[in-house]
Amino acid sequence: MAVIRGEVVEKAGANVSTVSGSNYPAIDGENSGKPFEAMGVSTITHMFNPYAPIGHMNVRLIKVGDEDFWFGGGADMTPCFSFPEDNKEFHDALRRACDLRGPAAYGEYSKWCDEYFYIIHRKSVRGVGGIFFDYLKGSFEEIFPFVKAVANAYVEVFPKILERRKSIKFSPEEKEQQLFWRGRYAEFNLAYDRGTRFGFMTGGNIEAILVSMPPVVKW
């Protein structure tokens, strides 16, 4: 786990994680109780400037039993103040990565993202979306290049967006609005996120699991 804190990046974290056990946690009835191995790379960024969006990317490989394995992951963006040009650039980068899975992949994974990151009790999506995928099974040699393309697309496009927004002047009222908006991010991660639940249920590093949480939040 690595964490950055400063005057521009209020809190950002990156995890390289591996976990294994004899009993896959009861979040997946089909695989519960089987021996498993899981590994992944994730990153999350919370900027001090409310005009700079929250960004999140995660890719992972899970193996259950003797042979069964699948890939999962995705990337999404949660701005407090949304800019259409930022949203388009972000989605275009992910669309190009999805082309490795075929012409229909981006539409499918984008819709999956909106459904997954829907905050039920707020009746709203968490941000402006991105892509989300899970249980991608098949040839490792065919799927892994796509997973790498998703990570590389995020690493390329998201810093460009932050560079444009990190120095915009903002008011105390706009900073206050950001702190309340972050509450929705925290609510989803603690109430619904499968990755957070999986980490808790497999005895992972608690600080690493919660590195995605915003540094300061208000309700």
> Tell me: the pLDDT tens digits for 139-170?
999 999 999 999 999 999 999 999 999 999 99
Instruction: Measure the CA dihedral 147/150/156/160, to 10°.
Output: -150
Question: Which range, 4-8, 19-23, 192-196, 204-208, is most confident?
Answer: 4-8
Q: Is the pLDDT of residue 195 over 90?
A: no
Active site residue 46: no
pTM for the model: 0.94
Catalytic residue among 46, 56, 91, 121: 56
Which of 43, 81, 78 has the alpha carbon at shortest distance from 176? Answer: 81
Banded model confidence at residue 26, pLDDT cuts 50, 70, 90: low
Task: Give me the helix-helix angle, 105-116 and 84-98, nearest 10°.
Answer: 120
For residue 148, give both structure tokens. 């790498």
Class of domain 60-165 as given by CATH: alpha beta
Residue 41: per-residue pLDDT: 96
* DSSP code string of the chain: -EEE-SSSEEEEEEEEEEEEESS--TT-TTTTTS-EEEEEEEEEEEESSTTSPEEEEEEEEEEETTTEEEEEEEEEEE-SS--HHHHHHHHHHHHHHHGGG-TTHHHHHHHHHHHHTEETTTTEESSS-EEEEEEE-S-HHHHHHHHHHHHHHHHHHHHHHHHHHTT----HHHHHHHHHHHHHHHHHHHHT-HHHHHHHHTT--HHHHGGGS-SS---
The span from the CA of 42 to the CA of 131, in Å, is 14
- Domains of the chain, by residue range, sit at 1-16+41-49+171-219, 60-165
Residue 34: per-residue pLDDT: 86
Contacts of 27 (CB under 8 A, 6+ apart): 194, 197, 198, 201
State the average pLDDT over residues 85-114.
98
Q: Is the pLDDT of residue 29 over 70?
A: no
